């Protein structure tokens, strides 16, 4: 092989390793996020059952859910960015494979249908496992924020000597609104990145055809 082919093979291997790195990182963050949500809910139930919502206990529970919400949102942002990097590297791997397969090396013509489309995968794929995981983590984060609103409602009632009650209308509305904002923000970000990558691909195609 020529030096250019050697470099291309090396690039393919490195990109494949990078692709696995992004995928493994995605799974690790999702696992950490779900374990964290479960731990927060368990800790919340324990503390609320033992100390109630009076004075410092109620404030502590509110802070717990608020901080957990912020952490969950940061994890969702990380996952959204990681998906962009993952899709970008996958497309380059497909481009290299397409160039290799087009030469029909050793008679291999890709009858198995391995991915060779450099415009795929799309950043936003509704059927993608990564997309579904982002949805679930976003909903879990929204649930934590709804818990924060509900806790504040209870603390306010207890502080005024009233019976501990939850304003469920506000809690449900908060959950739906937060979910819509977080998921919508991810989709808008992905759509922006997809549009930008398509524009760059069109510009590169124009230059190569000039």
What is the extent of the structural domain holding 85? 3-209
Calculate the CA 146 to chain-centre distance: 20
Q: At residue 58, does pLDDT exceed 60?
A: yes
Q: What is the mean pLDDT of residues 32-47?
A: 96
Using the Cα atoms of residue 180, residue 181, residue 183 and residue 185 in order, give the sign of their dihedral. Answer: positive
Give the pTM. Answer: 0.90
Q: What is the mean pLDDT of residues 47-56?
A: 90
Query: 160: pLDDT confidence band, cut at 50, 70 and 90?
Result: confident
Considering its fold, how many domains does the chain have in total? 1
Task: Give the per-residue pLDDT at 206.
Answer: 66
Task: Give the per-residue pLDDT at 87.
Answer: 96
Exposure b/e, 15-47, CB count within 10 A at least 16 = b: beebbeebbeebeebbeebbebbeebbeebeeb
Q: At residue 23, does pLDDT exceed 80?
A: yes
Q: At residue 78, does pLDDT exceed 90?
A: yes
Question: pLDDT of 184-195, one tens digit each?
Answer: 999 999 999 999
């Amino acid at each position: 092989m020529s030096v250019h082919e050697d470099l291309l093979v090396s690039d393919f291997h490195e990109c494949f390793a990078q692709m696995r790195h992004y995928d493994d990182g995605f799974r690790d963050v999702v696992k950490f996020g779900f374990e964290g949500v479960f731990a927060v809910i368990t800790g919340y139930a324990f503390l609320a059952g033992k100390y109630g919502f009076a004075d410092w206990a109620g404030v502590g529970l509110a802070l717990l859910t608020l901080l957990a919400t912020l952490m969950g949102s940061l994890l969702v942002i990380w996952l959204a960015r990681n998906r962009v990097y993952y899709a970008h590297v996958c497309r380059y791997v497909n481009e290299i494979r397409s160039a290799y397969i087009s030469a029909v090396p050793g008679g291999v013509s890709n009858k198995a249908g391995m991915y060779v489309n450099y415009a795929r995968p799309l950043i936003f794929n509704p059927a993608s496992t990564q997309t579904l995981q982002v949805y679930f983590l976003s909903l879990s984060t929204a649930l934590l924020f709804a818990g924060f609103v509900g806790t504040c409602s209870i603390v306010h009632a207890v502080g005024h000597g009233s019976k501990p009650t939850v304003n469920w209308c506000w809690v449900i509305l908060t959950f739906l609104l937060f979910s819509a904002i977080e998921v919508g923000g991810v989709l808008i970000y992905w759509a922006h990145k997809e549009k930008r990558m398509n524009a760059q691909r069109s510009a590169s195609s124009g230059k190569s055809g000039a």
